[in-house]
Amino acid sequence: MTGFMLKLRDDERAVTCTHLVNYLKRIYREWLAEYLQDKRCGYKTHLRLLQTFCARHGFTRQRLTKSKKR
């Protein structure tokens, strides 16, 4: 999955949870179905898992900043 995330970055695209969920649906459909089946609130748990994975591998969330004045 890190390869997919790096490819998105190389293409100058944002790495979003939506991209990662769609990637997992395409490549790891069976694992995802089993993972979500065992969880009480699968969607929230899955998003938390993806956010933790991203943080662990150095992909942080973008934060809004004020525009620089010239």
Percent of the chain with pLDDT over 70: 86
Cα within 13 Å of Cα(20), Cβ side: 21
Sign of the dihedral defined by the CA atoms of residues 4, 57, 13, 6, in that order: negative
Per-residue pLDDT tens for 27-49?
989 988 888 887 788 888 888 88
Domain ranges for the chain: 2-56
pTM of the model: 0.61
